[in-house]
Structure 1
Amino acid sequence: MSTDGGGSGGVRAVGVRRAFGAVKAVDGVDLDALPGRVTALVGPNGSGKTTLLLVLAGLLVPDAGTVTVAGFDPVTQGLEARRRTGWMPDVFGTWDSLTAREVLTTVAAAYRLPREVGAARAAELLTLVHLDEYADAPAHVLSRGQKQRLGLARALVHDPQVLLLDEPASGLDPRSRVDLRVLVRRLAAEGKTVLVSSHVLAELDEMADDAVFLSRGRTVATQSVAGAAAQRRPWRVTALDDAGLRAWLDRSGYALAPPDGEGALVELDGDAAAAALLRAAVGDGVPVVSLAPAGGVLEQAYLALEEERR
């Protein structure tokens, strides 16, 4: 990944540390998230993802290291940084007595948007996140997924340059997850910097351009999603005759993983190798039914990193 993410629209963290007493939640994170791209934060529970996002959002002061968001330091230039940052926490918190529309107009007022601009922006965003029919309902009647959608709208009220999204798909139904992916990709295409954390790595596969892997509060790897897809990983091949398929793969010199279900698992170096296998199999009369990666790109990259660290 490039290291020029600290420019006018990007996010940069260098050597960031943050402890809570004896617990080192973030213990040396380096990160660059670039404008026009979606960067995924990947790591297990307790790896420091949420703490890092809170630091970037200006809600926690780091113990050490430097941070810039859209070119501004959230600690020493907090007002300028926050004007350019949209923050969506993993749990939506608001005044439950306010309606969905009032939540958005209140946030718009906090960002000093004129009243008429705030009202128009609230109506636009409620339509965008499919909450029109709940616009004038109190927030406390919304479901978990609906509150998540309202939280995303809240983060977008002031049209920020940088979006920090912590578990944005949590509680969303399948249709809403698709809508979220489409919206995030659209925002990146508009030139915004999007940094997103999620435990659902399959969601990130279709959303992210780059990934930053965290473990025990530290950055352990950075990689583009396209680069991860080109690495050696398991693919599943199925055919009408599994025994014949496995015999052909063995004769052809493919390394087979232990069977874990239908078909066979083979280690391949990206799409070109998969295409070559399929062409050869069909040419030899093997009745192949399907050939696809056995897991998501980021999932496989993450599991490989975890295996290396053991």
Structure 2
Amino acid sequence: MSEEAGNDVVVDPVAGDAAGIVVRGVTRRFGSAEALRGIDLSAPYGQITALVGPNGAGKTTLLLILATLLTPTSGEVRVAGLDPATDPDGVRARMGWMPDALGVYEQLTPREYLTFFAEAYRIDPAAVAGRVTGLLARVHLAEHADQPVHVLSRGQKQRLGLARAMVHEPRVLLLDEPAAGLDPRSRAELRDLLRELAASGVAVLVSSHILSELEELADRVVFVAEGRTVEEDEIAGVARFVVSGWRVRALDDAALTAALTARGVAPLATSAAGSDLPPMSETDAAALLAALVGDDVPVVAFGPIGGQLEAAYLALNKERR
């Protein structure tokens, strides 16, 4: 990886492009139906970009275009600097794809399964065995390496699918609902692995409905709705869309209630998780927290209800109704 002089644009040394994925004005029609109506998106190398939107927003259609499985009706698409419509083989050599519903060869073992795909990508035969063993360890399937795939759980098959997408060491990784079927520990391991891949310079694009996971994982977010890009921003910048409810919990409930009442803040609900406060901006929430601490209220938790990414998603969709 290198950087162009005078700016922070990361350039791939092989393809020479400034972002792993670039999408500009992409449309896609199926007969009279418009699935995409002008999508714009970029996914830089070295970062994880979250693709967020409701069902029917066009996320899967866009991923299929990026994965060379559909062609756009109009617009510009570049994956690792190449056009998937005119150079699908070149894109596939540089891109890893993990769809939401991944079929696997049930009678093979995970080792055989990954070896098959490594050979299909024409990886040096002398390197295949070591690469497959390393991948199985990275996705925590080493102990199941020589068992038939059909005995694996859904979550284990998801991890095998991720290993398959990584077998040729792609520069760009497309993931559609990668955490589906994973238990909490496996989701945490997935986060660590994707962060590791991004740190190594891979451009990762993730589509998921688990917004709390994306908020912890992603560097950037692209909101889409009705086949169009609604907003594209750094994760840290989504707070400007948010006027969300907040939840506060303290060791002394009576002191918390008195302090809130003194400031004219009435909790909407109270439970073991804490007191749910009315919607407010980050600035107002920070001022309220400072006031509570100044009143010697022993606050142990204070944060937005549901997370900022979820709140921003709901706010943007509300604006479009």
TM-score normalised to structure 2 length: 0.88
The 8 Å contact of residues 9 and 161 in structure 1, kept in 2 or not, is answered as no
Aligned to 2:307: 296
Quick one: which amino acid aligns to residue 201 of structure 2? Answer: G
Instruction: Single out whichever of 188-197 and 16-25 deviates more from structure 2.
Output: 16-25
The 8 Å contact of residues 10 and 19 in structure 2, kept in 1 or not, is answered as no
Residue 215 (1) aligns with residue 232 (2) = no
Deviation string, structure 1 residues 44-69 (Cα, Å, up to 9, x no partner): 11111111101001111111111000
Quick one: which amino acid aligns to residue 30 of structure 1? Answer: D
Q: Which structure 2 residues correspond to residues 116-265 of structure 1 after superposition, within 5 A?
A: 116-229=126-239, 231-239=242-250, 245-246=256-257, 248-249=259-260, 251-252=262-263, 258-259=268-269, 261=271, 262-265=274-277
Instruction: Single out whichever of 272-281 and 142-151 deviates more from structure 2.
Output: 272-281
Task: Give the CA deviation at 1:223.
Answer: 1.7
Alpha-carbon distance in structure 2 between the residues aligned to 1:244 and 1:19: 60
**Residue from 67, 83, 99 that aligns with 2:109:** 99
Task: Give the CA deviation at 1:73.
Answer: 0.3
Deviation string, structure 1 residues 243-286 (Cα, Å, up to 9, x no partner): 764553354366x674375413144443x654543332122243
**Pair 155,43 (structure 1): closer, same or farther in 2 beyond 3 Å:** same
Task: Give the CA deviation at 1:233.
Answer: 3.0
The 8 Å contact of residues 268 and 278 in structure 2, kept in 1 or not, is answered as no
Aligned to 1:277: 288
The 8 Å contact of residues 246 and 264 in structure 1, kept in 2 or not, is answered as no
The 8 Å contact of residues 237 and 266 in structure 1, kept in 2 or not, is answered as no
Quick one: which amino acid aligns to residue 145 of structure 1? Answer: G
Instruction: Single out whichever of 259-268 and 275-284 deviates more from structure 2.
Output: 259-268
Task: Give the CA deviation at 1:110.
Answer: 1.3
Instruction: Single out whichever of 136-145 and 273-282 deviates more from structure 2.
Output: 273-282
Task: Give the CA deviation at 1:229.
Answer: 3.8
The 8 Å contact of residues 245 and 276 in structure 2, kept in 1 or not, is answered as no
Alpha-carbon distance in structure 1 between the residues aligned to 2:248 and 2:122: 57
The 8 Å contact of residues 51 and 208 in structure 2, kept in 1 or not, is answered as yes
Task: Give the CA deviation at 1:240.
Answer: 5.2
Task: Give the CA deviation at 1:166.
Answer: 0.4
Quick one: which amino acid aligns to residue 22 of structure 2? Answer: R
Alpha-carbon distance in structure 2 between the residues aligned to 1:241 and 1:309: 42
Aligned to 1:12: 22
For the residue of structure 2 that corresponds to 1:206, the secondary structure is helix
TM-score normalised to structure 1 length: 0.91
Task: Give the CA deviation at 1:130.
Answer: 0.8
Quick one: which amino acid aligns to residue 237 of structure 1? Answer: V
Aligned residues with identical type, % of pairs: 56
The 8 Å contact of residues 238 and 264 in structure 1, kept in 2 or not, is answered as no
- Root mean square deviation, CA, Å: 2.4
Aligned to 1:306: 317
Deviation string, structure 1 residues 193-233 (Cα, Å, up to 9, x no partner): 00000110011011101111111211111121111246543
**Pair 276,88 (structure 1): closer, same or farther in 2 beyond 3 Å:** same
Unaligned runs of 5+ in 1: none
Instruction: Single out whichever of 275-284 and 291-300 deviates more from structure 2.
Output: 275-284
The 8 Å contact of residues 10 and 34 in structure 1, kept in 2 or not, is answered as yes
Aligned to 2:84: 74
Quick one: which amino acid aligns to residue 289 of structure 2? Answer: L
How many residues end up aligned between the 2 structures? 307
Unaligned runs of 5+ in 2: 1-7
The 8 Å contact of residues 65 and 72 in structure 2, kept in 1 or not, is answered as yes
